[in-house]
Structure formats: C-alpha cells, structure tokens
Amino acid sequence: MSKAGLRAIAAGLSLGDLQDLPAAPGRSSRVTTGIASDAALLPVVDAVEQEVWQRLGDSRALKAVRCRIRDREVGLQIDTPERLEPEIKADLIACVADLFSEKGYAEQVTSVVIEPYKMGSAFLLDTVELVE
C-alpha cells in the first residue's frame, strides 16, 4: 500500500491525526540492503542516534542524525552546517563503539566513520558488472 493510499483511508475514517503524520523512516532503514536485520540491533541504532542528539543538539544546529549499519562498519551520519572538531568526532566514535559493545555487537564496530548525512544511503550498493 502506498503512503497516499494510507492517507486516503485515514481521511475516509476521519483519522486526521494519522492522515497528517509526516513520513518517518523506521530503524530497519538504517541497515544496508543485503545485510540481515537483527531485531535486537535496532534499539542499539536508536540509542546511538538519541545519544548523538543529546550530546550535540544543544550546541549545534542539527537537522538529522543517522546510524547506518554496514558490513562490519557503522556510519554515523550527521546533518549540521557546523564543522565537528576532531576531539568531538573522537568522542562520538568512542561512544558509538561503547554502545554497540555493551549490547553485544562489538564485531559490528570494527570501524566507525563520521560522515555527512545522505538520505537513503542505506540502499546504495556498489554497481556490479554482469558478464554474459
């Protein structure tokens, strides 16, 4: 069912609050296509995003924070017009590693990278050349 279809049904049932809800991606959208999604991992993704908001939200103009799960890597995407100092980046990387390790996912954080936010980047895969 499409978003538009769901909104039309909500309108027909006089569920204005539901009809007007903005689209919000689920935590499973943070896992790169092709990687098995573990339900116990998704709360860790949420905890990382919440922690980054708490650490940076008062001092930075944050627009978005995404914790992206890749093959043996975590990408921490932060949308802010401000530059993050090296010591802040190091602190965030350590925080992410600690949160994943505390929840039993130490193997997931062999690498933590901080990068600019890119909408939909969990679905970007390298192009594969097919040979006939």
Cα–Cα distance for residue pair 131/47, rounded to 1 Å: 43
pTM for the structure as a whole: 0.71
Where residue 45 sits, what CATH number does that domain have? 3.30.300.20
Cα–Cα distance for residue pair 42/48, rounded to 1 Å: 10
Residue 12 is assigned to a structural domain of this protein: no
Residue 64 is assigned to a structural domain of this protein: yes
Q: Is the pLDDT of residue 126 over 60?
A: no
- Total structural domains in the chain? 1
**Both tokens of residue 44?**
């860790």
Residue 130 is assigned to a structural domain of this protein: no
Residue 50 is assigned to a structural domain of this protein: yes
Tens-digit pLDDT profile for residues 60-111: 889 999 999 998 899 999 999 889 999 999 999 999 999 999 999 888 888 9
The three-state secondary structure class of 49 is helix
Residue 94 is assigned to a structural domain of this protein: yes
Domain coverage including residue 49: 25-123
- Yes or no: say if 78 and 117 are a contact pair by the CB < 8 Å rule: yes
Tens-digit pLDDT profile for residues 27-52: 667 887 787 778 888 899 999 999 99
